[in-house]
């Protein structure tokens, strides 16, 4: 079986973890601080905080902005559930909007969805392809839109407009107009989960990019406390002589990154652009070169004049497919021992959200994208021979199913 996206783990990873385990310090400490510093340098963001997931980052930022019951947060219908679930955790209302043919959030739909309760927009760089950041930033700064914004606390007053809390779970290393993602939105959460491009087993990080008069260092300090029970000293500071006494200044959460995770991340980051991304791009190119020749195939766009993807998910679409045909094609591919996936099932179509009254048919483009989509395996250790096996399995399965149903 060719797996879908096993993590990149080799002796270097194993050595880094062993060294950390034996170092005497395994939770948040020097490795985590170094990983944060290197991430900020790589991305070009003023500050990065490392956490145990992207989900935690998205939620902490919503809470930092004071999102609560009665507020609305705009989320694309086509994403992983995390983007919407964190809004639910805060007691606010998820306002789904439809996406474009290119899978990313539709900015004119965002504009239509804004009300005087809208506090945050959470765009998603789907598959690693950045959204149209300039259009979204222009929108939240439009005088009419700013006039609608109703600040209810100090941070909201200071920002004076809707907060852009980007879900960049897929897009570490992607570029928008020459800059890495994580430098456009006010805050951007990256995921280092086992299936993502850059792994720490589980993990995430928030790139902070808040404009003046905010201080990103100050926000970092707050998030550092907030991700560790609001405790005024972390575990490392408490080990210093006379350092036992601490205070609790917030009813904080517990979502810090450990040094074991950071050790993996440091190995990953060092070889990311020069090696990992190159390989992922190679796989994308090989898939597209071959599949572009077929009328039924719509290959993903992963490079334009303005954008370069992080090559996270190879999102193929089968143009003549509907949900049933797509599922049949996937069955046939699986029979040929190739693991494929669908990114994504639109969130309004899940039971929890359906029960709250959402209907996927209100987001027709998201549903159409979903019906035609099949994601192909992309990972560092994928061989040329395996790439050919995947291509043959996909092509023969599509042609079998389309011939039957022609």
Ligand X SMILES: *Cc1c(COP(=O)(O)O)cnc(C)c1O
Do residues 121 and 136 make contact, with C-beta atoms less than 8 angstroms apart?
Answer: yes
Minimum CB distance to ligand X, residue 54 (Å) = 3
CB of 196 to ligand X, least distance (A): 6
Instruction: Return the number of the residue (119 or 170) whose C-beta is nearest ligand X.
Output: 170
Closer CB to ligand X, residue 170 or residue 326?
170
Q: Least distance (Å) from ligand X to the CB of residue 94? A: 14
Give the helix ranges, DSSP H, for 232-378. Answer: 235-238, 259-270, 277-291, 323-335, 351-355, 364-372
Which string of DSSP letters, residue by residue, matches 53-85?
A: -HHHHHHHHHHHTT--TT-EEEEESSS-THHHH
- CB nearer to ligand X: pick between 133 and 149: 133
User: From the CB of 23, what's the least distance to ligand X, in Å?
Assistant: 25
Q: How far is the CB of 128 from ligand X (least distance, A)?
A: 10
Beta bridge partners of 338: 2
C-beta closer to ligand X: residue 156 or 300: 300
The nearest distance, CB 127 to ligand X, in angstroms, is: 9
What is the binding site for ligand X (CB under 6 A)? 53-55, 79-80, 82-83, 124, 167, 169-170, 191, 193, 204
Look at the block and give the residue holding tokens 């039971």.
Answer: 351
- Distance CA(388)–CA(406), nearest Å, equals 26
**Angle (deg, nearest 10), helices 364-372 and 323-335:** 30
- Residue 312 C-beta: closest distance to ligand X, Å: 8
Least distance to ligand X, CB of residue 81, Å = 8
> Cα(1)–Cα(369) distance, rounded to whole angstroms?
27
Write phi, then psi, for 390 (nearest 5 degrees).
-60, -50
Cα–Cα distance for residue pair 30/15, rounded to 1 Å: 17
Please enumerate in sequence order all residues whose Cβ is within 8 A of that of 384, keeping only pairs 6 or more positions apart, or say none. 286
Both tokens assigned to 109: 């739909």
Identity of the residue, 80 or 367, whose beta carbon is nearer to ligand X in the bound complex: 80
Residue whose CB is less far from ligand X, 99 or 387: 99
Nearer to ligand X, 145 or 195 (CB): 195
Cβ–Cβ under 8 Å, residues 151 and 118 = no
Residue closer to ligand X by CB (options 199, 402) is 199
Q: What distances in angstroms separate CA 103 from CA 9, 170, 235, 316, 372, one per listed residue?
A: 30, 13, 42, 11, 12
For residues 314 and 151, give the distance between their C-alpha atoms in angstroms, rounded to a whole number.
Answer: 40
DSSP line for 249-278: -S---B-BPPHHHHHHHHHHHHTIIIIIHH
- The residue (of 53 and 397) whose beta carbon lies closer to ligand X is 53
Nearer of residues 307 and 328 to ligand X, judged by Cβ: 307
Give least dist CB 204 to ligand X, A.
4
The rounded distance, in Å, linking the Cα atoms of 267 and 46 is: 22
Residue 182 CB, nearest distance to ligand X (Å)? 14
Q: Measured from the CB atom, is 114 or 131 closer to ligand X? A: 131
Residue 62 to residue 169: CA distance in whole angstroms? 16
- CB 200, min distance to ligand X, A: 9
Q: 296 by DSSP, 3-state: which? A: coil
């Amino acid at each position: 079986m060719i797996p879908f996206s096993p993590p990149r783990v080799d002796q270097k990873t194993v050595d880094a973890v062993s060294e950390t385990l034996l170092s005497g310090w395994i939770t948040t400490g020097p490795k985590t601080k170094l990983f944060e510093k290197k991430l900020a340098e790589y991305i070009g963001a003023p500050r990065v905080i490392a956490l145990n997931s992207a989900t935690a980052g998205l939620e902490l930022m919503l809470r930092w902005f004071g999102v609560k019951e009665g507020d609305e947060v705009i989320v694309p219908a086509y994403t992983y559930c995390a983007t919407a679930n964190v809004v639910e955790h805060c007691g606010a209302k998820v306002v789904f909007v439809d996406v474009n043919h290119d899978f990313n959030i539709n900015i004119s739909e965002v504009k239509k969805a804004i009300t005087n309760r809208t506090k945050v927009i959470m765009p998603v760089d789907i598959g690693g392809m950045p959204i149209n950041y300039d259009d979204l930033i222009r929108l939240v700064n439009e005088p009419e839109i700013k006039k609608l914004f109703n600040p209810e606390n100090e941070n909201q007053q200071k920002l004076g407009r809707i907060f852009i809390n980007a879900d960049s779970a897929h897009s570490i290393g992607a570029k928008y107009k020459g800059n890495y993602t994580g430098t456009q939105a006010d805050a951007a959460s990256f995921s280092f989960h086992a299936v993502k491009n850059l792994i720490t087993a589980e993990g995430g990080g928030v790139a902070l990019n808040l404009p003046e008069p905010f201080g990103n260092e100050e926000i970092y300090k707050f998030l550092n406390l907030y991700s560790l029970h609001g405790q005024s000293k972390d575990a490392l500071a408490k080990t210093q002589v006379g350092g036992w006494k601490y205070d609790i200044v917030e009813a904080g959460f517990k979502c810090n990154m450990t040094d074991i995770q950071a050790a993996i991340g440091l190995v990953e980051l060092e070889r990311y652009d020069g090696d990992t991304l190159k390989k992922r791009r190679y796989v994308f190119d090989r898939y597209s070169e071959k599949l572009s020749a077929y009328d039924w195939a719509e290959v993903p766009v992963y490079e334009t004049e303005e954008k370069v993807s992080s090559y996270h998910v190879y999102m193929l679409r089968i143009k003549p497919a509907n949900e049933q045909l797509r599922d049949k094609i996937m069955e046939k591919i699986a029979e040929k021992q190739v693991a494929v996936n669908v990114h994504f099932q639109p969130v309004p179509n899940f039971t929890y959200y359906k029960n709250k009254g959402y209907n996927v048919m209100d987001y027709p483009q998201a549903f159409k994208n979903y019906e035609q989509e099949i994601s192909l395996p992309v990972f560092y250790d994928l061989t040329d021979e395996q790439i050919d096996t995947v291509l043959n399995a996909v092509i023969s399965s599509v042609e079998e199913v389309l011939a039957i149903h022609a």
